[in-house]
Amino acid sequence: MKFKQTDLSFTASASAVITGTAATIPISVLKAAPYSLAEGATIKATVVAVNSVGSSAASAEGGAAVIPTTTVADAPTSLAENVALRTKTQTGLTWAAPSNNGGSTVTGYNVLQDNVVVGTNVQTTSHTAINLVLGTTYTFKVTANNAKG
């Protein structure tokens, strides 16, 4: 089995968190150019300290880490009516963000009324359903969007 070696030079910035002798590099940085590491890729790293005098010897190789695979987010939970917004022709809906975002930030929500999309890329965890007919039963669903869908 052959492995491709990629030298990674990283300068600490706002996206890195350094605590004592550990540095955390966000997955989004490793997946973006110029590194472009794929989901499922295995990473092993050594560390070299650099200052005005020069570079240190490389540290021992750290344990392997795997770039996580992202999936679609789980469904939002706790979908409920906000009765304070209920009138003869509208009602409010609220929900909680999914506990599993699929490894990618939730970017918005789609609201479906009787399986028809009535809200696209909603940026909050609430929505007002309008043009309702008094006495009619409606079914609402909410889906979460992330980089995978």
E-strand stretches of the chain: 17-19, 22-24, 42-43, 50-51, 54-55, 65-66, 77-82, 91-96, 108-113, 116-122, 126-129, 140-145
Mean pLDDT on 97-109: 90
Gap between the Cα atoms of 111 and 139, Å rounded: 11
pLDDT band at 137 (very low <50, low <70, confident <90, very high): very high
Same domain, 45 and 82: no
Is the per-residue pLDDT at 3 higher than 50?
no
pLDDT higher at 14 or 90 = 90
Query: The domain spanning residue 113 has which CATH number?
Result: 2.60.40.10
Q: Which residue range(s) make up the domain with 95?
A: 77-145
On whether the CB atoms of residues 133 and 114 are closer than 8 A, the answer is: no
Residue 42: inside a domain:
yes
Gap between the Cα atoms of 14 and 73, Å rounded: 26
Q: Does the predicted model carry a pTM greater than 0.85?
A: no
pLDDT band at 6 (very low <50, low <70, confident <90, very high): very low
Report how many domains make up the chain.
2
Gap between the Cα atoms of 123 and 127, Å rounded: 9
